[in-house]
Structure 1
Amino acid sequence: MIKPQKERGAVAVEMAIVLPLLLMLLIGIIEFGRVFNVQISLSQAAREGARHAAVHFNDDDLDVDAAALGAAPSLNELPVTVDDNADECALGADVRVTATVALDSLTGLFDAELLGMPVIFPMELTGVGVMRCGG
């Protein structure tokens, strides 16, 4: 079937309009998935660091950072900082471990203002774990 002359190129124009929107949606889904994964890993790392500090608070060589980051290998390439109050840990007290990262965009698309939307990245993510010492 031969299309009339006035309809030629309509598919190309429609594709040029729809493709950028679909790509933005796909990239947004990928970025959201990555942020969600890093957030879950940070929470797991903080929780594991708190558990390690709560169980081993009497040890001389207590290394909360290594225990926390060892529990979340997906964070190895990221600049994660781990803060804790394990030196104040005593029976019945709580130990608090906080894992923080400034996450950059995977694609770079959301690092700049786009179509009037605010800049999203770098995004500050935090995971917190609290456990009872010796408990």
Structure 2
Amino acid sequence: MRSSRALFRHEQGASALEMALILPLLLVLLFGIIDMGRYYWAEHSVAHAANEAARMAILEGVTSDEINEVIAFHLRDWDNTPPALQIVENPGGSGSPASVTVTVSIPFSFLVIPTFVTGIFEPITIRHSVTMHLER
């Protein structure tokens, strides 16, 4: 019969081994959650910037430079390449009001996930379009 001290000494390395096996999985899970949080934050930021740019675009006398400033202000936390902006005015006609469509897009790259799972998470473009009726 072994004493409790002998059993403890025998199992001393087991917890270190378990930690060595589980810690990489926990870290991948943690950083994957952080990456997905960054993605949803970027998606929300692009949608908000497009909404604000569309609100600005429907006003009379607003230039595309002013709209670019609004987008740059709302996406100032992104140190990626500058956001792409597309403004399309729809003249309307035959009963439908004139409108403007603003599309904002930014490139997005995952930080941690691609290093562990290659080929699945390639850089993507986050794009959001907003259409509003003109106030002119």
Which TM-score tier does this pair reach, normalised by the shorter chain? 0.7 to 0.9
> How many residue pairs align between the two structures?
127
Equivalent residues in 2 for 1:1-135, closer than 5 Å: 2-4=5-7, 5-56=9-60, 59=61, 61-63=63-65, 64-75=67-78, 77-79=79-81, 80-86=83-89, 92-106=97-111, 109-112=112-115, 114=117, 118-134=119-135
Shift of 1:48: 0.8
Normalising by structure 1, we get a TM-score of 0.79
Task: Give the structure with higher Rg (CA).
Answer: 2
Relative distance call for 1:113 and 1:89 in structure 2 (3 A) is: farther
The structure 1 segments of at least 4 consecutive aligned residues displaced by more than 4 Å after TM superposition are 88-91
Shift of 1:128: 1.6
Query: Per-residue CA shift, 1:29-75, capped at 9, x if unaligned?
Result: 1001111111000001111111111013xx27442222222233323
- Work out the percentage of aligned pairs sharing the same amino acid: 27
Q: CA RMSD in A?
A: 2.5
Relative distance call for 1:123 and 1:61 in structure 2 (3 A) is: closer
